[in-house]
A = this chain, B = another copy of it.
Amino acid sequence: MNFASDNWAGATAEVMAALTRCNDGFAPGYGNDALTRRVTERFSEVFEREVEVWFTATGTASNSIGLAALSRPGGIVFCSADAHIHMDEWGATEFQSGGMKLVTAAADDGKIAPESLAALLAKYPTGNRFGTPVAFSLTNATELGTVYTPDEVAALAGQASAAGLAVHVDGARFGNAVAALGTRPADLTWRAGVDLMSFGGTKNGCWAAEAVIVFSPDRVQDLAARRQRAGHTFSKSRFVAAQFEAYLEADNWLRWAGHANAMADRLRQGLRQHPTARLGWESTANEVFAVLPVDSIAAVRAAGGSLYEWDSLAVDAGPGRQLVRLVTSWATTEANVDAFLAAL
């Protein structure tokens, strides 16, 4: 009954097998090995175009180094008020960029509406006296379990791009978004106007497999040097490459993410029908937000279960109740879900 986070799961058998497979003999360090090259090419196939791939240790690293590669003094990044880069990374983007500012738009269900972005762009027009907007960042799947469609991404990216901004996607749960939509990765990114993204494998079956994927190399500056001085250039790069090899092979990543989404669906369905619990809001990917009686939360925890209390201005839980976040993963089983629903 572990629903605290998708990073509580370990690695899939396929990832472990790939790690074992690559652990043979010597290979050049710092990404100059054959496996890293092969996996980079694999990313290009997945995205149906040539891409740059820069492994990092964490999603925070990918986000902050990627955005820093766009940085300018006095620079501004627009994002959602719930964005992981704003709320959960301890100023990583501000730090890596030497002081860029994140300016946020309200986004009740985690998705920035076109009119919210328009309002920000109007407030900070080109040549304004407040700072230089450099990037727009969205998270897909969002921090609130919702998903932007290719059309929605394209609409926002079009606005941002028209204002001269680079478009960044925090894809810590990108697999969940792609699996939920049944879309092509390219359609959800560069074909919709995305310039670079953080591509996360860790939450979806890897140990530590994160990368900055660059679709518009002309937009970014000195990414290799930034990653190096930030301490994110792995010497034994093949151990990341191996994880991604297994991840991307035979659409494993979409199968794993699809499973996590399906478990979340099962959970959502159970909660919708539950007499004392209810959904905080509808979501699509592997994060479920529910309003539960505090007694039920205590009962789940007493039974060894884990979940995460959540705050939201958009939900009034009411007396004796609490909003919680429940996250499923590749490792969540139907039995886990059913046991949780029973324990409520």
Interface residue A4 (Cβ < 8 Å from any Cβ of B):
yes
Interface residue A268 (Cβ < 8 Å from any Cβ of B):
no
- Indicate which residue in B2, B30, B96 contacts A26 across the interface (CB closer than 8 Å): B2
Contact surface of A with B, Cβ cutoff 8 Å:
2, 4-5, 7-11, 16, 19-20, 22-30, 56-65, 72-75, 87-92, 94-102, 123, 129-132, 202-203, 207-208, 221-222, 225-226, 228-236, 238-239, 306, 311, 331
Given known A-B contacts A57-B234, A60-B228, A74-B225, A27 and B11 have beta carbons under 8 A apart: no
Given known A-B contacts A90-B225, A95-B99, A233 and B60 have beta carbons under 8 A apart: yes
Given known A-B contacts A57-B234, A95-B230, A231-B230, A131 and B29 have beta carbons under 8 A apart: no
- How far is the CB of A260 from the nearest CB of chain B, in Å? 13
A58 lies within 8 A of B100 (CB): no
Q: How many identical subunits does the complex contain?
A: 4
A73 lies within 8 A of B58 (CB): no
**Distance A63 CA – B97 CA, assembled complex (angstroms):** 20
The interface residues of chain B lying within 8 Å CB-to-CB of A10 are 22-27, 236, 238-239
Of residues A97, A131, A202, which shows the largest number of chain B Cβ atoms within 10 Å of its Cβ? A131
Given known A-B contacts A72-B225, A208-B236, A91 and B87 have beta carbons under 8 A apart: no
Provide a sorted-by-A list of 27 A–B residue pairs whose CB atoms are within 8 angstroms.
A4-B28, A7-B236, A8-B26, A8-B29, A10-B22, A10-B26, A10-B236, A16-B19, A28-B306, A57-B234, A58-B235, A60-B228, A60-B231, A60-B233, A63-B231, A64-B229, A73-B222, A74-B222, A74-B225, A74-B228, A90-B228, A91-B101, A91-B229, A95-B229, A95-B230, A96-B231, A99-B229
